[in-house]
Amino acid sequence: MAEEQLMQAARLVSLWSELSIRHVALGMSCGCGAGGISLRLEDFELDIVDYLEDAALRSDLPAVAAYFRSQQAAGWPPSPLLVLLQQASEGELPAPVCDWVLPRVEKTLTSFKALHGGGAGA
């Protein structure tokens, strides 16, 4: 795997670690004082991995589909996005999987950061 991909993956591990602990408010408080629902971005981790898995299985890239099928069969580990990014940052993912997955994760995480990054503390 290229050094550039290793660095990109390491940046994404750091970005996910930073973003995953932030809160996202869903709803507003009403006049009775009942607050809205607040979730952490890490609560969306499985949704992100499900999106990646679905897109990978529909892709025309056999190595990418095979990787996600193997993860599906084995069962994703706890914190699957973090594990995926850590594997990439340590050079443990096949190059075609990194080529495919890193840009998608980067786009997703930068979107989360743009929407929820400013002022939303842990």
Query: What distances in angstroms separate CA 16 from CA 12, 22, 40, 79, 101, one per listed residue?
Result: 6, 10, 12, 11, 14
Reported pTM: 0.78
> Domain limits of the chain?
3-116
Average pLDDT for 70-97: 92
More confident residue, 27 or 61: 61
**Within the chain, what is the greatest distance between any pair of CA atoms?**
56
For residue 27, what pLDDT band results from cuts at 50, 70 and 90? low
pLDDT of residue 122: 39
pLDDT the model gives residue 5: 87
CA–CA separation, 4 and 8 (whole Å): 6
CA dihedral 27, 29, 35, 41 (to 10 degrees): 30
Amino acid at 60: D
Name the token pair of 107. Answer: 């786009």
Q: What is the pLDDT of residues 55-76, one digit of tens each?
A: 999 999 999 999 999 998 999 8
